Amino acid sequence: MLRTENLTFAYGDRLILENLTVRMTASQLVAILGVNGSGKSTLLKNLNGLLQPKYGTVLVDGHELAAMSGRDVARHIGYMPQKTTPESCTVFDAVLLGRKPHITWKAGKRDLRIVTDTLHRLGLEDYALRRTTELSGGELQRVVIARALAQEPKILLLDEPISHLDIRNQLETMRVLKNITQEMQLTVVVVIHDLSMALRFADQFVLLKKGRLFAAGNRQIITAATIKEIYQINAEVFNISGIPVVVPTSVH
């Protein structure tokens, strides 16, 4: 569904990503991991066309992303950036903006139904008539996820979607993302810092180190040795009641 081939990106002479070849398939929640500055957010922006690779390609269903129109990209890919500035509108209208790639003249009954269903899926029904400027950072983050989901994308790219949420809402948001990945057969790509949360919900992992692909695969690649190499910490991976948990022990 989504793959890169020899993806290389630079800001001027400063190389950020180098020769990344990664395949991400439908019905998979993919966690992009790495330390700050390893290129995670830059990779996400290349995957949705906000940034153009210096070399290499991004392919969506076998088609080059660079050759797709803006409307086609929006129909295939939903994106939530790391930082969001709220528009002064209701939550319902903010999520309805996600239907823009599909609306030719005005919103129809199907568009309104999709927005309503999306608000329900994200637990935002009671916020529908609230103004986005009245929301907390965590609430606004869920609205942005809902707007991206309302696009009916095949691919959902989320940059730190749980960073401003309390632990309960982190779990609920990740559970929702996991469910929609499977129910809607989406490719969901998440930049995330919490290793335990990533291990608990993700199916596939992409580990970046200094802009290069260090490893990609299932949860078996997340080992104490891998964590030490990527994060320069000593850690243990435990299984508690069937849930994988990463426990840092010391700085390497």
* Cα 96 versus chain centre, distance: 20
Q: What is the pLDDT of residue 248?
A: 92
Measured between alpha carbons, how far is 10 from 240 in angstroms, rounded to an integer? 42
Nearest-CA neighbor of 92 among 133, 121, 125, 64? 125
Q: What is the pLDDT of residue 140?
A: 86
Same domain, 150 and 240: no
Same domain, 229 and 176: no
Q: What is the pLDDT of residue 48?
A: 94
Domain of residue 27, residue span: 2-221
Same domain, 10 and 108: yes
pLDDT in 10s for each residue of the chain, 252 residues: 899 999 999 999 899 999 999 999 999 999 999 999 999 999 999 999 999 999 999 999 889 999 999 888 988 999 988 877 777 899 999 999 888 888 777 888 898 999 999 999 888 999 999 999 998 877 888 898 899 999 999 999 999 998 878 898 889 889 989 999 998 899 999 999 999 999 999 999 999 999 999 999 999 999 999 999 999 999 999 999 999 999 999 886
Q: What is the pLDDT of residue 126?
A: 94
- In CATH, what number is assigned to the domain containing residue 137? 3.40.50.300
The tally of domains found in the chain comes to 2
Q: What percent of the chain lies above the pLDDT cut of 90?
A: 70
Predicted structure pTM score: 0.91
Same domain, 123 and 238: no
Same domain, 145 and 209: yes
Same domain, 89 and 125: yes
Other beta carbons within 10 angstroms of residue 81's beta carbon come to 17
Same domain, 217 and 228: no
Measured between alpha carbons, how far is 185 from 195 in angstroms, rounded to an integer? 24
DSSP string, 148-204: HHHT--SEEEEESTTTTS-HHHHHHHHHHHHHHHHHTT-EEEEE---HHHHHHH-SE
Same domain, 187 and 84: yes
Same domain, 65 and 148: yes
Same domain, 127 and 247: no
Same domain, 76 and 183: yes
Same domain, 70 and 160: yes
